[in-house]
Structure 1
Amino acid sequence: MEAELTTQQPLSRLNVFSGRGMQMRTFQLTWLTFFFCFFGWFGIAPLMPLVREQLHLDKGQVGNIVIASVSATILARLLMGKLCDTIGPRKAYTWLLVVGAIPVMLIGLSNSYESFLLFRFCIGIIGASFVITQFHTSMMFAPGVVGTANAVAGGWGNLGGGIANLAMPLVAAAFVSLGFVDKANSWRYAMVVPGVLLLVMATLYYRYTQDTPRGNYTDIDRERAERKEGTFGIALRDYRTWLLALAYGACFGIEITIDNVAATYFVDNYKASLILAGALAGIFGGMNVFARALGGIVADRAGRAYGIQGKWLLLSGVLVLEGIGIVFFSMAPSLTLAITAMLFFALFLKMANGTTYSIVPFVNRQAIGSVSGIVGAGGNLGAMLVGFLFKSKEISYSTAFLYIGLGVAAVGGVVLLVRAFAAKREAAEAPAMALAA
């Protein structure tokens, strides 16, 4: 039975403790589904020390696996952005969950570097869930609060990566303690758990959400009339789409890279145990509980006070601070200082995530899905590119983080310069923003 249709308007207020009404029910299911997508996407990351030992992987092969984990997401996000504009987020999300669950559950069948690499690549399609999450939330909330809603949904969903780092070593240990498997093979059994959860969420999402406050795409005419074949081209022709994609590569791209390598980094550089390293990586992800939402909240306030330019200036500032924090993280001589630096840059990184997607809905209302897809793909492209630093045998993980920090700060400067150049021209277009709505 499909979700019952309602004919309501986008909400102008976000009450995160409410599940009443189609808008809030969709919001709650959207971020929760995204949470489990992230959990499945990065479920194997804290178990990589076990995989590395059993499959005899070298540093270059581990680097290739990190790159593969985010590569498929690039194309998947572009596709899902377009599908949101055409078939609607409800069906797009359902299909993504069903298809994505398969490699998550089957990665445990890997017995070689090549087969593991292939499964890790396929799992990456789940990362396209972010685009659907942001699109669906944008449909349910009014312009004055959409930045906050997007940031909360994205942040709470991204938390799944942090919880995976914390929980998956415990899940693997539980299978060992129950006598199902030895420690070396525990990662194989553990990955079945997130795969099953994805199938559960596919059922719930299809039954209890709808595409827009007015109804599903198949049941109303307005959205069908608006779903032009040219939405992707519209998004591509707007320089703001590309600037946001660059910024997102410098924040979210770095986030998912750290989700992939943090546990291994803490094990290798600071001799942490597998469970401790997973917990520390989980702290990084756990900051999504509030930090990404904080970026959206501050961005919405900056938008109401200073217009769209206020949001862009905020984005530039948090990117620069993120970059500075990563530089300090790369040079931390002790575990305590590394954790301190991580908390600092994680705050601004996740705020940058939230700020980026507080701007996305205002680029072009008729092509939100395509804009979201391109910007989201930019995040994964950034992760793929920096992944080559961690693959290199000549560059240590610490040096890689140093280069990343400098690059992120430079991107913050580029955002500032480009927006300063365009500010006069867009000032004349500001009334169309209607940020005070």
Structure 2
Amino acid sequence: MSEEALRLWDLRHQRIQMLHLSWLAFFISFVIWFAHAPLMIYIKESLALNDHQVKTLLLLNVALTIPARSLIGMFVDKFGPRVIYSLLLLIGGLLCFGFALAPNYETLAAFRFLLGFVGASFVVGIRLIAEWFPARQLGLAEGIYGGWGNFGAAVGALVLPLIASFFALPLGWRVAVALAGTIAIIYAWFFYRFARDTPAGATYFKPNRIGALEVSSRKDLVLYIATSSVLYLAIALLLWKLSAPPTPLLPLPVALAIGAGFLLLYALQVRKMFSVNQHLFAPVQTPPPVQYAFKQVTILSIAYLAAFGAELAVVSMLPLYFHDTFGWSPMLAAALASSFAFMNLIARPLGGWFSDKFGRKNVLTLVMVGITLGFLGFAHIEASWPMLAVIGLTVVASFFVQAGCGAVFACVPLIQRRLTGQFAGIAGAYGNVGGLVFLTMLALYGPSFFFVFIASTAALSLLAVQWYSEPKGHLIEVMPDGSIQLIAVE
């Protein structure tokens, strides 16, 4: 098959089969991960939840995904995408049944927290697509995977409330969530049966050691530790939010105990970072074949924080925001809010395709400008705005958000192939950090400040992107027999 065009419906080619298997797995993951958002109006009424409890559920939905994405990234690099994706879908489907059967707020919150683990599924497909597509097509292929997969949120927002409407209030949302879980379990078997980690005869490059990334210099090690620290600070923010009045989900002593556990985990991880990279302190430094610049990971993580963080937060709050601001019915508010997620279908692939064609740094710069301006526009929405104007702004802002996500992951697999899962895990976790921080700003200060804060974060990300280095030439990977393989990156 030519590398100049992707023939998406030519299923004779196994790489096209893998692309469709992958985006559909991610699509189902997103349906079950965000099943609560379009159904929140029904859930709130069914269990008599207050506004604080609703906001806490939104925060819980992105909480576990922060550490999970880094963890899953390591597992994918070590054990391969086929096994890990199948397990995630199976576990996510089972957790849906727990959420659907929850008799009270506490149980509901526990299963919503656990379902955040499903958000790590994105990382798996990033590595899988990188194994099957050359660099000239990689941005577009990753964009299709991420964009069409993320479209699951839009389909869920349209279909799940419709399913729920056929049943009485206490039952409808539960049936909708359980049905989504059933589909995930069935597809877990299907993916395991038909997916493959690499093309026939290709080498699946694995990290030399697991538990922490190998970096190329002492400076990179310091940056790696600093970049990882942000993830633990985000967890501390979450624990504070969950233990804060007026209706804390966690008693303060419990929150402090969990925080102490994460602090210990952080200390152990830093120790592991030094252990894996002890060669940096020896007279003989890292050999050239495994060198890379860790700043690339940090910059792309910051960009993804702004882009995907905005998507996570806005998709979670937009149906209720439209309902409260304009008085639209629950189904209308959910349907119109789905236009934000709907843009995933075309904007993520376009973000990746533009990166392939016009330069990755150029596209990253453009999308950050668009995100900044789009959310400054959102901050000025008023109840008097006509519906068409609201929808138009939603679509335009969403386009830049989704294209930004596609642009970031057109870059991530081009840093070092054998560590792609872990790079994707860090960048993906930063996206969840963004969602958590943005939703915290929403809970504390309301929608207007929330939108301005997202715009300000995108503006800072725009500055960071200017230090990104466009990939050139080839990646160098070491084969199991010690020979060198070159992988083109342009």
TM over 0.5: yes
Equivalents in 1 of 2:371, 2:380: separation in Å?
15
Equivalents in 2 of 1:18, 1:59: separation in Å?
49
Amino acid in structure 2 at the alignment position of 1:183? L
Of 41, 47, 68, which residue of structure 2 is paired with 1:55?
A: 47
Equivalents in 2 of 1:153, 1:349: separation in Å?
16
Counterpart position of 1:314: 363
1:52 shift after superposition: 1.6
Equivalents in 1 of 2:463, 2:369: separation in Å?
7
1:35 shift after superposition: 0.6
Note the alpha carbon deviations across 1:325-363, whole angstroms, 9 max, x for none: 111012122243222211111111111011000000111
Equivalents in 2 of 1:141, 1:13: separation in Å?
11
- Alignment root-mean-square deviation, CA: 2.1
Of 421, 432, 435, which residue of structure 1 is paired with 2:474?
A: 432
1:242 shift after superposition: 1.4
* CA contact 2:73–2:425 (8 Å) conserved in 1: yes
Of 145, 152, 163, which residue of structure 2 is paired with 1:160?
A: 152
Equivalents in 1 of 2:210, 2:14: separation in Å?
29
1:60 shift after superposition: 2.3
1:413 shift after superposition: 2.5
* CA contact 1:10–1:139 (8 Å) conserved in 2: no
Counterpart position of 2:307: 251
- Give aligned pairs, total: 400
Matches within 5 A, 1:407-418: 407-416=457-466, 418=467
> Which 4+ runs in 1 deviate beyond 6 A?
9-12
Q: Does residue 158 of structure 2 align to residue 109 of structure 1?
A: no
> TM-score scaled by structure 1?
0.87
Q: Does residue 416 of structure 2 align to residue 379 of structure 1?
A: no
Counterpart position of 2:416: 364
Amino acid in structure 1 at the alignment position of 2:87? W
Q: Which moved more, 1:235-244 or 1:253-262?
A: 235-244
Counterpart position of 2:120: 128
Counterpart position of 2:209: 229
Counterpart position of 2:241: none
1:412 shift after superposition: 1.6
Amino acid in structure 2 at the alignment position of 1:249? L
1:227 shift after superposition: 3.6
Equivalents in 2 of 1:436, 1:91: separation in Å?
27
Which structure 1 segments of 5+ residues have no match? 1-8, 177-181, 303-309
Higher relative contact order (CA closer than 8 Å, sequence separation 6+) = 1
Counterpart position of 1:81: 73
Equivalents in 2 of 1:290, 1:128: separation in Å?
22
> TM-score scaled by structure 2?
0.78
Change (3 A) 1:10 1:108: farther
Amino acid in structure 2 at the alignment position of 1:203? W
Q: Does residue 451 of structure 2 align to residue 401 of structure 1?
A: yes
Counterpart position of 1:45: 37
Equivalents in 2 of 1:259, 1:408: separation in Å?
17
1:31 shift after superposition: 0.5
Counterpart position of 1:199: 185
Q: Which moved more, 1:96-105 or 1:58-67?
A: 58-67
Note the alpha carbon deviations across 1:146-186, whole angstroms, 9 max, x for none: 11100011100000001111111101012x1xxxxx12431
* CA contact 2:344–2:402 (8 Å) conserved in 1: yes
Counterpart position of 1:242: 298
Amino acid in structure 2 at the alignment position of 1:210? R
* CA contact 1:326–1:342 (8 Å) conserved in 2: no
Note the alpha carbon deviations across 1:283-312, whole angstroms, 9 max, x for none: 11111111111101100002xxxxxxx312
